[in-house]
Amino acid sequence: MPDQSIREARTPGAPAAEPASGAGGVSRRALLGTAGATGLVLGAAGAAAGYAAAPAGPTPLTSVGSGRAVFHGKHQPGITEGLQACGHLVAFDLAAGAGRKEAAALLRRWSATAERLMAGEAAPHDDTGVARDAGPSSLTITFGFGHGFFARTGLEKQRPAALDPLPDFSSDRLDKSRSDGDLWVQIGANDALVAFHALRALQKDAGSAARVRWQMNGFNRSPGATAHPMTARNLMGQIDGTRNPRPADADFDQRIFVPASGEPAWMAHGSYAVVRRIRMLLDDWEKLSLSAQEQVIGRRKADGAPLSGGSETTPMDLEKTGAGGDLAVPLNAHARITRPDRNGGAAMLRRPFSYHDGIDTDGTPDAGLLFVCWQADPLRGFVPVQRKLDRGDALSKFIRHEASGLFAVPGGAAKGEYVGQRLLEG
Amino acid sequence: MPDQSIREARTPGAPAAEPASGAGGVSRRALLGTAGATGLVLGAAGAAAGYAAAPAGPTPLTSVGSGRAVFHGKHQPGITEGLQACGHLVAFDLAAGAGRKEAAALLRRWSATAERLMAGEAAPHDDTGVARDAGPSSLTITFGFGHGFFARTGLEKQRPAALDPLPDFSSDRLDKSRSDGDLWVQIGANDALVAFHALRALQKDAGSAARVRWQMNGFNRSPGATAHPMTARNLMGQIDGTRNPRPADADFDQRIFVPASGEPAWMAHGSYAVVRRIRMLLDDWEKLSLSAQEQVIGRRKADGAPLSGGSETTPMDLEKTGAGGDLAVPLNAHARITRPDRNGGAAMLRRPFSYHDGIDTDGTPDAGLLFVCWQADPLRGFVPVQRKLDRGDALSKFIRHEASGLFAVPGGAAKGEYVGQRLLEG
C-alpha cells in the first residue's frame, strides 16, 4: 500500500527541491513540492489506511482524504508540510503531582496515538469514530515543551537556553492565561472532523497527567480552492509568507533546525516554535483605502508584488523612489522591516493559521492570525525581527499580540521511540 | 462561460433525480446529484469568474474552488445544496429608527453582494480581498426574517402564522442573547476564507441599518476527505442525515417549500428554517461503550445501519427482537423516535454544521451541532418531532439545546429583484 504519499494543495513556505513523484514509496520530504505549483489536488494512488476503509467495500480514490504525512522521521511532522485547512493549537500544564515519569508515559501515549491517527487508523483506545470514513487528510501532530516543563519534571539541567522567556515588546498585550504552558500540541489537517478527532483523542490521552491550559482553533484556505501557486492570504486580504525560507535553500536546515551536534543533545534535529495570537483590528484596517493598506504592507494586495515593482517573487528595491521622490516602499512598511537580509540573516519559517472566534463584547471581530514560526534559535529568528517591528512597523496600529508561547520541539521519533524520549529517558 | 455548475463533494441530504451532466448551461437543480455518489470532486469546466482570475494569466481548473451555486432562482440557495465545509450563521437586529425603507435598502445591498460573491466576483464596494485567488468555492448566502422583523417594519399583517414562537421544550436551556433576531443570514462555502470574506462583506453592508445580534461558526467534512456516499458524521461520531428527504422524493417540494399558492403570498417557494445550537456533552458521551452509544441512537456507529440489521438505507424493523426478547431498536432510541413515518408524515430537511468553540469555563468542550432544518411548515416539521424527542429520547441526556431561532426564508429572487422584495414592496 502506498502509504507515504502527501498531497497538499499548496505548500506556502516550503516547496522541496525534488519534484513530487507519482505515488507511494517515496520519502515524505520528496513529496512536499510540486502539487502546490498547480493548486490542483491530485488523486493520490491507493486506498486510505486503517478504518478509513469502508465496511461495505474497498475505498475508492479520494483527493483530500488520502493526503498522508508520516510520524516517524528526522524531524517531527507539521513543520515543513504545506498549510492545512484546519488546525488546533493546544497547551497543557502537567497536573499537580505529575512529574517526569508521568510525562514520559504521556508522551509515549501521545506518540502512539499520533502515529496511528496520521496513518488514518483508529486511536489505540476507545476511538470516538469522528474521523471514520475520512482518510488521514494530511493530518500532522507535533509536540513541544515549554519553559515550565523542566522544573516540574526535575529536568532543569536539560532546559535549553533558547527557551528563556522572550523579551517584552512594547506592543504586547498578552493574556497570560492563553500564553505559555508546559506542553504544546499542534494539530493540522485538511478536514475539520479529522482535526477535531485528533484533538479529542490527545485530550483523552492526557488523562490525569495534564490539563488543557489553552486551546485555539485556526484555518487556512482549502486545498483546491485556489489554482494559483501563491502562498496564503490572511484575513487582512494580504498575501502572506512570500519571503519564507524554502527547504531547497542551502541554509534552510541550518536556520530552521537544531543541528545534530546542537545543545542540548536531546534537541538534535528539533526546532523552536514561537506562537503568537495576533488579533487583527479589521474594522480599522478595512477603513483604509487599498493604496493606504499597500503602503502599510509595502506590497501590492492583489499579487503580493513589492511596491517597487515586479511580481510576488521579485526582490524588493529598497532605494526606488516615485515621481515625488518618496520611497516606493516606505521606511515603516511591514515587508521592508521584516526582510531577512536586513535582519542579520535572521530567518524563521512562518506556518500560521487564521483564526476567527466570532464577535467580541465590543462588537469587533475576534479574528486574526495564529502566528506560528519555526527556527533553530529564537534569538536569531523571531526576536530580532519582532524587535524591529516593535520600533517602527506601520502595521502595528492594526494588530495586537494577545498571547504568546515559546516551545522546544524535539526532533522526530525513530520507529519504536516516542517524541521526547531522549529528554525523558536521557 | 459555464457559470451555473455546482460541484459538491457530498450531497448529504439532497441528491437530485437527474444525473449531473458535464458542465455549464444546466440548471442548478440538475447538478445537485451524482458527484456526491463517488465523493470525488470533479474538475468543473471553465475558469472561476470575477477576480478569482489571476492577474498573471488565465485561471486553470480547480476542484473545490470552481464549485458554484446560483443566486437567482425559484428558491434561495443554501437549502438543497450539499453540506459545505465552512459556515457562518448570523442574526441581525434592525437598528433603532430603522424601518421598512432601511430594511428594503439593506436587502437590496445584501442581494447584490450575495449575487456577486457567489459568482466569485468582488463585493460591490471596498472588497477586502480575502477571497481573492479562490473560486466561488460553492458559496451560498441565504436570507431570512425573524418574528421581530415585522413589527419593526410595520409589516405585522404580513407576518406568517408559521413564525409564531416555537413551543417551549422541557429540555431547552436557551440563551436568549444567542436566539432569535430580526434578520438571519446563512453563509456556507467550501473554503474558510471565502466564507469569512462573505461574512465581513455582509456585516459591512448592514451599515447603520442593523447590528449583529449573534454569530456562530460551523464546519462539515471537507470535499474529498471521504470517498463514501455517506451523509455526514457529527462530533459524536454518528452518521447523521440518513433519513433526510431527497429532492427526488415525490413529496419533497411539498414538505420543504411553501407552495406557489401559499400564505402569505410573499413566501411562495420559500421555506422555514429552525436553527438550534445543540451542545453535545462529549465528555459524558465518550464514556459510554460503543454498544451503549448504539443503543442510544438505534443505529450502528460504523455504517449507520439500524440495529435491526441491514445497511444505512435499510428500513428500520421496529418490531424485531433479539435473543433475549428485547427490541433490537430500543423504544427510546433517537432514530426510532425521529422516524418520519411515525410522526404523521412530518419531514424536515436537516442541513447542519458542526461547531467547536474551544473549551468552556468548566473544562468541557463547547462543541456540538448547529442544527438547521428546513420545512414548509414548522408545525408539521420540527415541532412534532422535537415534542416526541422531548418526552423520551435516550439522546437527550447527552445534548443541550442552548439557542434557538425560527426564520421565514422567502423564495429566491428573480433577476433584477432582491430577496424579500415581494414582502418589502408588496
What is the residue-averaged pLDDT of chain A? 86
Please tell me the least confidently modeled range out of A46-55, A382-391, B199-208, B412-421: A46-55
CB contact under 8 A, A191 and B225: yes
User: pLDDT > 90: what percent of chain A?
Assistant: 76
Q: Mind giving me the DSSP string for A54-90? A: BTTBPPPP-SSTT----SSSSS-SSSSSPPPSEEEEE
Q: What is the pLDDT of residue B58?
A: 39
Q: C-alpha grid cell for residue B114?
A: 450575495
How far is it, in rounded angstroms, from Cα B132 to Cα A5? 29
pLDDT band at A230 (very low <50, low <70, confident <90, very high): low
- Of residues A124 and B17, more confidently modeled: A124
DSSP A178: G
Q: What is the pLDDT of residue B21?
A: 32
pLDDT band at A171 (very low <50, low <70, confident <90, very high): confident
Tell me the shortest Cα–Cα distance from B368 to chain A, in angstroms: 11
Among A349, A96, A102, residue whose Cα is nearest residue A240: A349
Tell me the shortest Cα–Cα distance from B110 to chain A, in angstroms: 18
B135 interaction partners in chain A (CB closer than 8 Å): 225-227
What average pLDDT score do residues A417-421 get?
A: 98
> For residues B189, B191, B194 and B195, what is the CA-based torsion angle, rounded to 10 degrees?
50
Q: What is the pLDDT of residue B350?
A: 95
How far is it, in rounded angstroms, from Cα A370 to Cα A110? 23
pTM of the model: 0.88
CB contact under 8 A, B303 and A56: yes
Q: Mind giving me the DSSP string for A249-303? A: STTHHHHHS--TT-SSGGGTT-EEEEEEEEEE-HHHHTTS-HHHHHHHHSB-TTT
Tell me the shortest Cα–Cα distance from B300 to chain A, in angstroms: 11
- Catalytic, out of A240, A284, A341, A360: A240
CB contact under 8 A, B192 and A222: yes
φ, ψ for residue B336, nearest 5 deg? -70, -45
What average pLDDT score do residues B216-227 get?
A: 92
Superfamily designation of domain A83-146+181-223:
Apc35880; domain 1 (3.30.70.1030)
Q: What is the pLDDT of residue B62?
A: 65
CB contact under 8 A, A191 and B126: no
> How many CB pairs lie under 8 A apart between chains A and B?
221
Q: C-alpha grid cell for residue B189?
A: 462555502
Please tell me the least confidently modeled range out of A5-14, A234-243, A391-400, B88-97: A5-14
Q: What is the pLDDT of residue B18?
A: 29
CB A203 within 8 A of CB A212: yes
CB B9 within 8 A of CB B222: yes
CB contact under 8 A, B63 and A59: no
Nearest chain A residue to B218 by CA distance is A192
How far is it, in rounded angstroms, from Cα A387 to Cα A378? 12
Catalogue the active-site residues of B: 240
Nearest chain A residue to B293 by CA distance is A128
Residue among B85, B86, B134 minimizing CB distance to A226:
B134
Among A274, A213, A178, residue whose Cα is nearest residue A91: A213
Residue among B39, B200, B204 minimizing CB distance to A62:
B39
ipTM: 0.88
Tell me the shortest Cα–Cα distance from B193 to chain A, in angstroms: 6
Given a cut of 90, whether residue B172 has pLDDT beyond it is yes
CB contact under 8 A, B130 and A217: no
B196 interaction partners in chain A (CB closer than 8 Å): 235, 354, 356, 367
Mind spelling out the 3-state secondary structure of chain B?
CCCCCCCCCCCCCCCCCCCCCCCCCCCCHHHCCCHHHHCCCCCCCCCCCHHHCCCCCCCCCCCCCCCCCCCCCCCCCCCCCCCCCEEEEEEEEECCCCCHHHHHHHHHHHHHHHHHHHCCCCCCCCCCCCCCCECCCCCEEEEEECHHHHHHCCCHHHCCHHHCCCCCCCCECCCHHHCCCCEEEEEEECCHHHHHHHHHHHHHHHCCCEEEEEEEEEECCCCCCECCCCCEECCCCCEECCCCCCCCCCCHHHHHCCCCCCCCHHHCCCEEEEEEEEEECHHHHCCCCHHHHHHHHCECCCCCCECCCCCCCCCCCCCCECCCCCECCCCCCHHHHCCHHHCCCCCCEECCEEEEEEECCCCCEEEEEEEEEEECCHHHCHHHHHHHHHHHCHHHHHEEEEEEEEEEECCCCCCCCCCCHHHHCC
Please tell me the least confidently modeled range out of A17-21, A300-304, B352-356: A17-21
CB contact under 8 A, A132 and B233: yes
Residue of B128, B293, B314, B354 for testing the chain A interface, max A β-carbons within 10 Å = B128
pLDDT band at A28 (very low <50, low <70, confident <90, very high): very low
B190 interaction partners in chain A (CB closer than 8 Å): 222, 225
Tell me the shortest Cα–Cα distance from A268 to chain B, in angstroms: 33
A357 interaction partners in chain B (CB closer than 8 Å): 217, 357-358
Question: In chain B, where are the structural domains located?
Answer: 1-22+41-52+169-175+231-413, 83-146+181-223
What average pLDDT score do residues B153-172 get?
A: 96
pLDDT band at B344 (very low <50, low <70, confident <90, very high): low
CB contact under 8 A, A62 and B225: yes
pLDDT band at B41 (very low <50, low <70, confident <90, very high): very low
In sequence order, what are the beta bridge partners of A406? Answer: A274
CB contact under 8 A, A129 and B65: no
Nearest chain B residue to A310 by CA distance is B56
Tell me the shortest Cα–Cα distance from B37 to chain A, in angstroms: 11
B54 interaction partners in chain A (CB closer than 8 Å): 227-228, 303
CB contact under 8 A, A357 and B359: no
Given a cut of 90, whether residue B43 has pLDDT beyond it is no
